[in-house]
Amino acid sequence: MNSPLPNPLALTHDAFVALSRAQGETHDNASHRYSAFHRSGTPAPGGVVPEPVRVHTTDSPEGSVHKFLLPVPAKREDHADPRLRLRLIGEAEHLETESVVIPMRNHKGVSHTLCVSSQIGCAMGCTFCETAQMGLIRSLTAEEIVAQWWAARHHLGHDIRNIVFMGMGEPLDNIDAVIDAIAILTDHRGPSITMRRITISTVGRLDGIRRLHDQVRRPGWRGLNLAVSINAPNDAIRSQIMPINRAMPLVDLVDALKDWPARKNQVICCEYVLIPGVNDADEHADELAALLKDVRCCLNVIPYNPRRDSPWPAPTEESVWRFLRRLEANGQFCKRRRTKGRDSMAACGQLGNERIRNRRLLPTPV
């Protein structure tokens, strides 16, 4: 029986070449095929990337925001109850990843950032997030994560400068695949994305942050960026909108951020989704600045993008700027994240498949 062909989406250059040589190919041939696949989009056996099934476009002052979906197999995984498996009504064979290409203006013009998903759905349960309403369907493989970059670069033709793990899912819930994917994306004989242009965003999984803490101390990983969703100035509010806070409270999270091994001139991105009537009062800004005073960070204030059936509206521009001015008055370094892609459900917190939200568990034979 022939061995399966090595997949350049799932392997670093050295691993790909080693497997190819074991199947009788020369080193130079395998190395050339790997680089040509990633850099030029040259088709390679074992490395097929499906074309995006849907592309949604929203205009912004910097250019068009593109949300695209890639089909992936609906691998059914056993549930806690061995008599049940997850069955998706109307989604029996395929699921979809969601990714967003975002134009970003800089001093050289406009570059593109790719927001990738690490899971389909999410288990974290944050009440303001569309993805959380799906629950966790399954985690993506490193191959499926890298395929999102390949599709954006070669199917859609975007020159991707930055990659942020801020799409569907909690990256640190799928940390092994995420680390493997980053190793491939930064391989200088493959996609060759600079490590300093990759950011992992987390809701604050302390076990995952500790794992990343060790990872960034390894050669070549020092430049990896960390973003953490704070979203509340105290445990009472945060526990209401982010269930993870009940197990991993703010005091422990802040301690972990103080211990983050940042490189020179690097700051952690602390994300704060501003929700009207929940966390946007002046006293919340005061409390938040006090909470983060010893953390080397930039507070990124994100005006809430309403999910489907949201109990809250988007904040007014006046309230956003009032909150920012209050933070600055407290000495907190902060920025406002521009809202892009809201009209096509492509903005921060809006990714998610409405059909999957209506799934249900059915008993199936094991």
Is it the case that residue 110 has pLDDT exceeding 70? Answer: yes
Q: Is residue 22 part of a domain?
A: no
Q: Is residue 145 part of a domain?
A: yes
CATH code, 131 = 3.20.20.70
Reference 130, options 341, 362, 318; nearest CA is 341
DSSP state of 245: G
Q: Percent of the chain having pLDDT more than 70?
A: 87
Q: What is the pLDDT of residues 314-358, one digit of tens each?
A: 999 999 999 999 999 999 999 998 764 445 444 454 445 555 544
Q: What is the pLDDT of residues 155-181, one digit of tens each?
A: 999 999 999 999 999 999 999 999 999
**Predicted confidence band of residue 359 (pLDDT cuts 50, 70, 90):** very low
Reference 100, options 67, 71, 70, 131; nearest CA is 67
Domain of 159 in residue numbering reads as 49-363
**Predicted confidence band of residue 54 (pLDDT cuts 50, 70, 90):** confident
Stated as kind and residue range, the H or E segment containing 272 is strand 268-274
Among 63-72, 179-188, 220-229, name the one with the lowest average pLDDT. Answer: 63-72
Q: Percent of the chain having pLDDT more than 90?
A: 71
Domains in the chain, number: 1
- Alpha helices (H) along the chain: 13-22, 27-40, 142-150, 175-185, 206-215, 235-241, 250-258, 282-291, 317-329, 354-357
**Predicted confidence band of residue 87 (pLDDT cuts 50, 70, 90):** very low
Query: In the block, which residue shows the tokens 């004989």?
Result: 189
**Predicted confidence band of residue 24 (pLDDT cuts 50, 70, 90):** very high
pLDDT at residue number 338: 78
- CA-to-CA distance for 65 and 47, rounded, in angstroms? 27
Q: Is residue 231 part of a domain?
A: yes
Q: Is residue 7 part of a domain?
A: no
Is it the case that residue 186 has pLDDT exceeding 90? Answer: yes
Q: Mean pLDDT, to the nearest integer, of 266-275? A: 96
Q: Is residue 86 part of a domain?
A: yes
Q: Is residue 143 part of a domain?
A: yes
Instruction: Return the active site residues.
Output: 348
Q: Is residue 6 part of a domain?
A: no
pLDDT at residue number 58: 86
Q: Is residue 75 part of a domain?
A: yes
**Predicted confidence band of residue 94 (pLDDT cuts 50, 70, 90):** confident
